[in-house]
Amino acid sequence: SFLLPIGLALRTADFLSASVSNILRNSHIYTIGDLREVTASQLLQIKGFGPKSIVEVETFLREKGLSLKPECN
């Protein structure tokens, strides 16, 4: 199976839509590793990042066997 490097830049990965990639980059989330260090709640606080964007990101990560940071309850 293909292993995706954690340090791979999201914009070069070309797996996310341009709008989601731009929002993440503008929020200083540049790599898959950066993305794994944030929770869904944190992403939802970013202007322009809504539930559909969360689904896109979670699907992207799940396809690679990865996930967002778990929520602390």
Residue 72 is predicted with a pLDDT of 86
Residue 32 is predicted with a pLDDT of 86
Helix, strand, coil share (%) of the chain residues, nearest 5: 50, 5, 50
Provide the whole-model pTM: 0.82
pLDDT tens across 12-55, in order?
556 789 899 899 999 999 888 899 999 999 999 999 999 999 99
Contacts of 55 (CB under 8 A, 6+ apart): none
Residue 30 is predicted with a pLDDT of 87
Residue 56 is predicted with a pLDDT of 94
